[in-house]
Amino acid sequence: MLNTNLKRVLGLALLAFTPSALFAQDIAIHAGELHTVSGTVISNAVVLVQGGKITALGKAGEIQIPEGIARAQAAVVTPGLVDAHTVVGIAGYLNQDGDQDQLERSEALQPELRAIDAYNARERLVSWVRSFGVTTMHTGHGPGAVISGQTMIVKTVGDTVDQAVMVPQAMIAGTLGGESLWGDSKPGTRGKAAAMLRELLVQGQTYSAKREKGEDGFETNLRLEAVADLLQGKTPLLLTCNRHQDIATALRIAREFKLRLVLDGAADAHLLIDQIKAAGVPVVLHPSMRRAQGDAENLSMETAGRLDAAGIPIAIQSGFESYVPKTRVILFEAAIAAAHGMPRDRALRSITLGAAELLGIAERVGSIDVGKDGDFALYDGDPFEYTSHCVGTIIDGKLVSTKER
């Protein structure tokens, strides 16, 4: 898997395409190595995409390529990368108040805030991560409040959110720990934050019961409608927790209210592997190279490998950077995990099929299989080697990036 002595069958930086490929949805992709992720690595392979969907793949010579179809080729082809948690498109590269919509600080509990109403499809960070092979992102309201708002899943294309969106309401994001403790009228302690979250969930239970009964005078409440979705299991709760006691609190609350919990960040997860596994809770792990400070001071570059080895569903995220570079690149974060004990094929899986499964979109993206979306990342060598480059990104059969990164 991703051998560092990879023979670059098609050259060091070889990406061939016709001008029509920029607009085509039908394309044949030639790969020196094709990493399907769901199956074996295929050498000297061809993938055929028609109507934006994968229709055939296999050894070159076994796949009949229609006349006049656009072609691309690269030494290594992987599925398009899936970023399991980011705020790109909600937070912008300018680092100015006007493009920082990831966190509304007026209240600690705001589950009604919709990511789809804030997403900027033309944000330059979207095209930046796309140029590294990221084709799908789980983005939205970020860490910093007990409940900060909703998240969504998008493709990294389009001029409008309607063109980009895959799942308009994916999860509801929240935080337990130091990042959510603002003081004053907001939670100043961990106990207060947990109590506020429980109170909101109890209000949601009462609201749901009244709605079900159709009581006279019942009024729709957007905040509690979102909470009702949590309680009914329609929407998972994505809780950013890094210290071990906060992770334990998240597991406890999820058990009490029968929530679909997804742990986010989870710097201390290696201290609670048995508990997390027993709870059947997946983990969107912090970026491997996140700064080890604050609640995340106990993080380790080995945690991804340890959780994966324990059989805990895991995806690696780019996370949120409050200052430059404003976003990380999941390709690099997975490479560091691979360098610190995580098998290389599993590291690739954590930013492709593993992330797609965790997000509930694996029927469309995450692996190279017939019937799935034609999303690919093209590289001139081993993607996890610093000397290699992403030389092309294809989404729904369209060549959307040819910058060498």
Residues 114-152: pLDDT tens digits? 999 999 999 999 999 999 999 999 999 999 999 999 999
| Fold (CATH) for 81-359 | TIM Barrel (3.20.20)
Q: Is the pLDDT of residue 320 over 90?
A: no
- The predicted pLDDT at position 94 comes to 87
- The predicted pLDDT at position 15 comes to 44
Closest CA to 156 of 329, 347, 323: 329
- The predicted pLDDT at position 95 comes to 80
Report how many helices (DSSP H) and strands (DSSP E) the chain contains, helices first: 10, 16
- The predicted pLDDT at position 185 comes to 61
CA triple 366-371-372, angle to 5 deg: 20
- The predicted pLDDT at position 302 comes to 98
Cite the residue boundaries of each domain of the chain with CATH code 2.30.40.10.
Answer: 19-79+367-401
Cite the residue boundaries of each domain of the chain with CATH code 3.20.20.140.
Answer: 81-359
- The predicted pLDDT at position 96 comes to 82
Has domain 19-79+367-401 been given CATH number 1.10.10.10? no
Average pLDDT, integer, range 96-119: 93
CA distance 123 to 157: 11
- The predicted pLDDT at position 18 comes to 42
For the question of whether the overall pTM of this predicted structure is more than 0.85, the answer is yes
Q: Is the pLDDT of residue 5 over 80?
A: no
> How high is the mean pLDDT of the chain?
92
- Could you tell me which residues come within 8 angstroms of residue 208 by beta carbon, excluding any fewer than 6 positions away? 224, 228, 231, 232
